[in-house]
Structure formats: C-alpha cells, structure tokens
Amino acid sequence: MTVVKAVTCPVCGCLCDDIELTVRNGRIIKVKNGCAMCEAKFLSHASDHRPTKSMIRREGKLVEVSLEEAVRKAAEILVDASYPVLYGWSSTSCEATKVGIELCEEIGGVIDNTAVVCHGPSILAVQQVGIPSCTLGQVRHRADLIIYWGCDPWSAHPRHIERYTAFSEGRFEKSAWRTYINKVKALVGSKKIESAIRRLAIKSWEPAVARVEKSPSQYLSREGRKLIVVDVRRTKTAEMADYFIQVEPGKDYELFKAMRALIRDQEIEVDRVAGVPVEYLEDVVDVMVSCDFGAIFFGLGLTMGSAKLKNIEEAIRLTRDLNMRTKFIIMPMRGHFNVAGANIVSTWETGYPFAVDFSLGYPRYNPGETSVVDILLRKESDAALVIASDPVSNFPHKASEHLVQKPLIVIDAHMNVTASMADVFIPAAMVGIEAEGTAYRMDHVPIPLKKVVDPPEGVFSDEEILRLILSEVRKIKKERMEAG
C-alpha cells in the first residue's frame, strides 16, 4: 500500500493539487482532501464498465479490433476527409492537444475545444475589451469582497471557496469561515423560533409569500471578507452569501449597466433594475467601491444567457470602472480541468484559442464560421475526431445528427454517448490518473498531472494514440503520393 501526495485532481477548473491517494495492488482505494467529484473520478479508474479494446463499426455494430487496425482506420478516415473537425480537448493534457494541433494541420481540418459551448463568449468578450485578472492566490491573500455571478461553486467547483476565496486564509485577509458558521447557527436558531411560532398559531397558517430581500446593509457593513452572490435562483452558494441578489433571468446586462452608472455617481430614475431595488444596489455598489480588493467570478449563467458575450463585456467593463476607485479583478469559472490549457496551447501554436481552421494551410479563426457547432449545423464537415468529450449529449440535436452521420472517431476513457455512436473507438488512459501531463488552472497556472496507477493493459494515453494516428496519416499520405 502506498500513499501518493500532492496529486492534481483532473475534474474541474480548480485543479486542486493537494489530493492524497492510497494505492493498493494498482488500484486507488482511498482519496483524501478531495471533493465528492474528485473522489468519484479517482475511484472510477478501476470500474468494470471501462472499455479496454479498440472498436470499429461493422454492419452497424461496434466490434473489437486491434489497436493497429483502429488507428489505421482512423487515419484513413481523416486522410479521406476534405473538411474534418477535431473536437474535445478540455479533459486531456496540453501535450495531447499539441499533437492534436499538429494532426489537424496535417489534414487541413478544424480544431475546436469545448470552450466553444461554455466560455467561448468570455473569450470573445476578452478579445473586445481585455480582462483585469490575477491568480487565485492573489484573491486568497487580498480579496475582502468576493462576488459569484451566475455560478454555483458550492456545487460545481466545490473547493473553490475554501481554497481560494471567502473561506481561505490569506496574508492580508482572514477566512470568513467562522463568520459563516455563526451566521448559520443564528439562522438555524431563528428558523426554529419561526417554526415554533407557526406551530403555535397553526390555525392561522397561510401559504408562504415570496421573501422580500432584507436590506443588504446588515451583513455587508461588517468588517472582514464579504461574499455576494448574484444569480437567478437561490443556490447553495447563495445560501452562504452575506448578500444575495436575485436577478431576473436574462437581465444581468441591465444590472451591470445600472451598477456602472452608480459607480459613476449617476442617478437611476427607476425604482428597480432587473428586479432589484435600486436602493439595495446603491448599498452593494458602495461596498464594491470601498473594498480594498474585489473579485468577480462568473459562470455559464452569464456566458449562456441571451446576451452572451455582451454580458461578459459589460462585466469586464464594470471591473475596469471599479479599478478607477479600488482594486478589482474578474475571472471566469472554467469547468473542465484543462479547458484553459486547451485554449492556451491552441493560442501559442496557432494564435487563436479555439475554432481554428487549417483548411487553407494556415490558422484561420472566425467563431460563428469556424466553430464546430456552426460547421455541423451547416453540414460542412465530412468526418470528425472527438477526444475526451461527449458532444452528442450536449450539442444541439441537429449538430449531433450531422456529427454521427459522417465517419466519427472517438478517443475516450469511457463508453459515453458519443463513443457508442462512433465508427472507430479507441479507449484511452485517464489523464491525471493513468497518464501524466500538464493542465492549466482557471487562472492560467500550469500544474503537472501525475500518473498514479497503470492504465488497463493495452490502453494508451491520448497523446500516444494521437501520435500513432498522426504517423499513420503521414504514412498513408506518403503511400498515396508515391502511388501517384
């Protein structure tokens, strides 16, 4: 039995690297420090359901073949295609992405990563206005105001608050954990009293009416770290916030505009913006302006709202305005553990973070045209390679339909929905558990991924599989050239 320390968790963009794993007989049996998602993933490597054999579709059925045969078939599909798309990348290592880009350049296809359906709008907004940001440690040490907007870290990035923001212990700012506990105790107490009163007066019971927000001043005026949550619903994160702003769905843009106006001391002539009383907003803006270091974290609630990149642009502009008065940063809550890395590698090799088209022999970028979903909807692609991703279960139906109609190669550790519809399936080692590599945290800090256990026999890493395909592609091209 061995204990491996400082393992990086390959689940979400937090990329916690303090995980301790206990390994016995080549199996991970215990996970320490991780969240529930982390534990589930680390323990899943030895699942009985994992495919370990390559497969090719013959007469409508996936049948097991040798790796060589699958690689050959995949290479043939890619060489024969005139406009193939290579999609996924966010849950694999940067090293694999690099090989993917080389492969894509070789076959003149399009390479796109999952950012296109999550934080793609954030990237487009950054390309319009820039982004004042920092690494997460900077927030831990300095931030006395934390705002989560359109995201629910308690559920999606479970250790974000504890490791990097409100409940972390920094040099200049202390953890707000104790305050939260006190608050919860008080809340539980008051709820008990309320229900006791209700039970006493049971006869005059009436259905609950929508709760009107208390004025924010009560909690926001205290010393120390403060947490504000803006969301359309009262999430778990909102429960622990010092103040929760419930914005009407689709009205975030208005809220940003109103806040920007208030920061500039402009009058707002309505009583409510996006469902929030202006006087409450004034209090919140006061807190924002008077903090020493504020941080906004935003999620898909903003990027996938109807205003998409305009939401993010406005959020960034708000942050820029706040920097006139104090220090403020803003950061997207990246989902997959290496989606930031996929963007970063793609950028340094091609100049562009996603949706890169090599069909003209050089990198071209025009999201909306060269982005995968749009290509699929226009039915332009004639083959696809999907790696470490499951687009069929989350792309628009029409896009998925075209994706599976054309020859489809899937490289994945699991038999997901997309894999089950593949023409060629190659099982892969789980990056960060059975294969090493590098990943980038949501704040662009590179962290190494460890190989803790061996992959099942005959299963290779994404990087190795892609290299095999690339060299097979080159071989086929050479053969065909020689054959004239």
Partner 1 sequence: MELLIKNGYVFDPLNGINGEKMDIAVKSGKIVEKVSKKAKVIDASGMTVMPGGVDIHSHIAGGKVNSGRMLRPEDHFRDVEKKTAVTRSGVGYSIPSTFTTGYRYARMGWTTVMDPAMPPLEAKHTHEELSDIPIIDKASYPLLGDWWFVLEYLRDGRIEECARHVAWMLKATKGYAIKIVNPGGLEAWGFGRNVHSINDPIPNFCITPREIIRGLCKVNKLLHLPHTIHLHTNNLGMPGNYLTTLETMRCVEDMYDGGKPVMHITHCQFSAFKGEDWRTFDTGAEEIAEYMNAHSHVTLDMGQVIFTDTTTMTADGPFQYTLYTLTGNKWVNHDVETETSSGIVPFQYRPKSAVHATQWSIGLELALLIKDPWKIFLTTDHPNAGPFIGYPQVIAWLMSCKAREETLKKLHPKARKKSLLPTINREFSLYDIAVVTRAGQALALGLTFKGHLGVGADADIAIYNINPEKLDPSRDYEAVIKAFGCAAYTIKGGDIVVENGEVLKHVPGATLWVNVETCKPCEMEVDEGLKRRFREYWTVEYENYPVDEHYLAISRKINVKADV
Q: Is 440 in the site for partner 1 (CB under 8 A)?
A: yes
Over the Cα atoms of the chain, what is R_g? 25
Task: Choose one: 191-199, 250-258, 261-269, 440-448; the region binding partner 1 (CB under 8 A).
Answer: 440-448
The interface with partner 1 within residues 321-340 (CB under 8 A) comprises 323, 326-327, 329
User: What does DSSP assign to residue 360?
Assistant: T
- The residue from 448, 464, 474, 476 that contacts partner 1 (CB under 8 A) is 448
Q: What separation in angstroms does the CA of 226 have from each of 156, 167, 190, 232?
A: 21, 10, 22, 20
d(Cα 306, Cα 278) in Å, to the nearest integer?
Answer: 23
- The residue from 343, 371, 400, 461 that contacts partner 1 (CB under 8 A) is 343
- CA 86 and chain centroid, separation: 19
Task: Choose one: 223-231, 252-260, 346-354, 399-407; the region binding partner 1 (CB under 8 A).
Answer: 346-354
Closest CB 261 distance from partner 1, rounded Å: 19
- The residue from 199, 206, 265, 361 that contacts partner 1 (CB under 8 A) is 361
d(Cα 196, Cα 157) in Å, to the nearest integer?
Answer: 36
Binding residues for partner 1, rule CB under 8 A, total 62
Max distance between CA atoms of the chain, in angstroms, equals 92
Q: Is 111 in the site for partner 1 (CB under 8 A)?
A: no
Q: Is 128 in the site for partner 1 (CB under 8 A)?
A: yes
Q: Is 123 in the site for partner 1 (CB under 8 A)?
A: yes
d(Cα 437, Cα 453) in Å, to the nearest integer?
Answer: 14
Q: Is 116 in the site for partner 1 (CB under 8 A)?
A: no
Q: Which of 170, 132, 168 is nearest to 326 (CA)?
A: 132
Q: CB nearer to partner 1: give 279 or 292.
A: 292
d(Cα 291, Cα 20) in Å, to the nearest integer?
Answer: 36
Q: CB nearer to partner 1: give 247 or 355.
A: 355
d(Cα 127, Cα 135) in Å, to the nearest integer?
Answer: 19
Exposure on the CB side of residue 259, measured as CA atoms within 13 A:
29
The interface with partner 1 within residues 278-297 (CB under 8 A) comprises 292-293
The interface with partner 1 within residues 141-200 (CB under 8 A) comprises 141-142, 163-164, 169, 171-172
Task: Choose one: 126-134, 185-193, 195-203, 418-426; the region binding partner 1 (CB under 8 A).
Answer: 126-134
Q: Residue 420: which residues within 8 A CB-CB, separation 6 or more?
A: 62
Q: CB nearer to partner 1: give 90 or 350.
A: 350
- The residue from 54, 92, 311, 350 that contacts partner 1 (CB under 8 A) is 350
d(Cα 114, Cα 224) in Å, to the nearest integer?
Answer: 38
Cβ atoms 386, 408 nearer than 8 A: yes
- The residue from 23, 44, 50, 137 that contacts partner 1 (CB under 8 A) is 137
Closest CB 75 distance from partner 1, rounded Å: 18
Cβ atoms 323, 138 nearer than 8 A: no
Q: Is 105 in the site for partner 1 (CB under 8 A)?
A: yes
Q: Classify 251 as helix, strand or coil.
A: coil
Phi-psi region of 331 (alpha: psi -120 to 50; beta: other; left: phi over 0): beta
Q: Is 42 in the site for partner 1 (CB under 8 A)?
A: no
**Token pair recorded at residue 188:** 């539980």
Contact map string, positions 406 to 425, toward partner 1, x by CB under 8 A: --------------------
Task: Choose one: 4-12, 35-43, 249-257, 453-461; the region binding partner 1 (CB under 8 A).
Answer: 4-12
3-state SS record for 74-89? HHHHHHHCCCCEEEEC
Q: Is 57 in the site for partner 1 (CB under 8 A)?
A: no
- The residue from 9, 38, 344, 373 that contacts partner 1 (CB under 8 A) is 344
447 pairs with which residues across the strands? 439
Residue ranges that bind partner 1, judged by CB under 8 A = 5-6, 8, 17-18, 94, 98, 102, 105, 123, 126-138, 140-142, 163-164, 169, 171-172, 292-293, 320, 323, 326-327, 329, 343-345, 347-353, 358, 360-365, 438, 440, 444-448
